[in-house]
Amino acid sequence: DEPPDHLDLEQQRQIRHAGEVLSELRSLKDRIPMAKLLERALERTGFDASLLNEFLGSRKLANLRKLVDMARQMDSVGLFTLKDFVIRLRESVAEQTNEELAATHPESSNVVRLMTVHQSKGLEFPVVILADCDRSQRGVQATVEYHSQLGPLLPLPPVRGARPTNLGQVMHQLDEAPEEKAETDRLLYVATTRAADYLVISACLPETRKVSSQWLRLIASRFDLETGDPAVDPYLGRLSLGEVSREAIPKIFVHRKAPDIPKAAKKPRSRDLPLIEFHDAVEAATASALPETLKRLAPDDAHVRDVSVSRIVAVEAQLRASETHGVDRSEQETDSIDPMSDPEVLGTLVHAVLERIDLAAPGNVVTLVERCLPIVSPAAADLLRTRAIRQVESFLESDVRDRIAEAVVCHRELEFLLKHDCQASNEDAITLVGTIDCLYQTPDSQWRLIDYKTGAALARKSDDAVVAQYELQLLLYALAATEILGAPPASAELVLVSDTVRSVPVDVAPPRLAAARRRIDAAVAAIRSVARATRGATRE
């Protein structure tokens, strides 16, 4: 089937490519090994490369390689199909099997690895350290088992606080002890043979030099723990290693003193202040400057990469103000001088509610506002609660809500990255970053863009004044939507949300978008010039 006609050409091409890849893989799934099939899928999709751009990308890529290795192991058996492999993966997900982490570095990497002896099987490293080798083994544990001769074996329940001994379990433990000892010796063999150049065996022995672990007892039977020389049989007078040449005996060094590691000077520990004294201590303290770690970091103008829409608008406004040699102060009025009733804080709260609300079935507005109140300070929440509820209710009664509720597709709080001047050098490359409040598609396949604004002072302005203040912001959003959709939106509007709701249309015709590009270019050029000047001063 062909992709839907309302999609742009690039999206249609992507859908066709996905169909071709799926058809190709489906035709190969019963003809080539599973590992080859997975490798073909990665080759055709580039999924492994895309993982490197994600958080913990190296870890995810290592897990993907481990998945391919699992498929290769099942291929080597020759009895399993792709269906069996999928069932195995589903069971692992359902059972939440604890898989070992895949290695993100090759075996030859210059890194320190921590692993169990079992995990080290088949590997080899230049230096291997066996830590705490005198730690006593736990021995055979009393577990629930069914023995072919002794029957069911399980611990007996306690009687009057004491747990009686199950003689059957004791017999089973004694029977398993030789095999447990042999397995412990095999583990020591595996651990010591992982070292290609140096093997470090570390242990903490008591003053009596008595060895308690099976590993050290075995090592002590072959080598003198005090000198490192091969042990001599006291009765036969010959080496316990047997008939071996001198060259075959490893060179052993015994270190009895811990290495000197420089320690940082301990800082005097301050006394913890009791809570009852805290208020008096604060009142008696004198104000001082904040430490550097708590001061606000100034923006690094020398390496500008991401520029917000608000900064573009502010820089462009400064350029226009410098051309007209003045600024219209009437544009800077605010709702109130009270910082807790700042329209910006109220706007943040109302935006959060409009992002989360289900416009088709809004439910209880008061409850939704209460859920969003934690994003503002408690003092501001008490002042803004009623105003936010009133403004959201006004929005729900407006025709704007009805139009969005009827949308076929609706994107709210749509974040975008708009690359400016793709031909620029790496130092001058700038990406415009912003968030579109609402971008929705009508039943007749028309895309429309909405940006919410709040504040009583803004609601009192004329449409022309509102457009003059926010036109560039809306046009920049329209340019971003054009990159996303492949065509400009049919319309854009500013929705002023206050005690009443008013819609102010903004012209996004191609001539207006072209003019906006020129204004944005001028703002970006100003930002780049500051960055170049800062870089030049830094190099000097």
Q: Tell me where in the chain the CATH 3.90.320.10 domain(s) lie.
A: 302-324+337-539
pLDDT digits (tens, 9 = 90+) for 374-388: 887 777 777 888 888
pLDDT value for 332:
41
pLDDT digits (tens, 9 = 90+) for 236-270: 666 777 777 777 778 888 888 877 778 877 777 77
Gap between the Cα atoms of 130 and 250, Å rounded: 17
Q: Tell me which of 3.90.230.10, 3.90.320.10, 3.10.105.10, 2.40.50.1070 is the CATH number of domain 302-324+337-539.
A: 3.90.320.10
More confident residue, 433 or 103: 433
How confident is the prediction for the chain on average, in pLDDT?
82
Gap between the Cα atoms of 520 and 421, Å rounded: 11
Which helix (DSSP H) or strand (DSSP E) does residue 47 occupy?
helix 47-51
> Strands 306-308 and 430-441: what pairing?
parallel
Q: What is the DSSP string of 361-374?
A: S---HHHHHHHHGG
pLDDT value for 450:
94
pLDDT value for 339:
40
pLDDT digits (tens, 9 = 90+) for 168-225: 878 877 887 888 888 888 888 888 888 888 999 888 887 777 888 888 888 888 888 8
pLDDT value for 472:
93
pLDDT value for 420:
78
Confidence band for 138, pLDDT divided at 50, 70 and 90: low
Tell me the percentage of the chain whose pLDDT exceeds 70. 86
Which helix (DSSP H) or strand (DSSP E) does residue 411 occupy?
strand 409-420
Residue 509: phi and psi, rounded to 5, are -65, 155
pLDDT value for 329:
40
Structure tokens at 478: 């329209």
* Residue 338: pLDDT over 50: no
pLDDT value for 139:
60
CB–CB of 449/439 below 8 Å?
yes
Q: Among 19-33, 97-111, 505-519, whose mean pLDDT is lowest?
A: 97-111
Confidence band for 506, pLDDT divided at 50, 70 and 90: very high
Helix 378-396 and helix 343-356, axial crossing angle in degrees, nearest 10? 60
pLDDT mean over 462-481: 92
pLDDT digits (tens, 9 = 90+) for 317-328: 888 887 765 544
Beta bridge partners of 147: 151
Tell me the percentage of the chain whose pLDDT exceeds 90. 19
Classify the phi-psi angles of 272: left when phi > 0, otherwise alpha if psi is within -120 to 50, otherwise beta. beta
Q: Among 127-141, 384-398, 401-415, 477-491, whose mean pLDDT is lowest?
A: 127-141
pLDDT mean over 273-292: 85
Gap between the Cα atoms of 279 and 39, Å rounded: 66
Question: How far from 315 is each of 10, 416, 504, 514, CA to CA, in Å?
Answer: 34, 20, 24, 18
Half-sphere exposure of 540 (CA within 13 A, CB side): 6
More confident residue, 188 or 93: 188
Model pTM greater than 0.85? no
Structure tokens at 466: 């509102």
Three-class secondary structure assignment of 53-79:
CCCCHHHHHHHHHHHHHHHHHHHHHCC
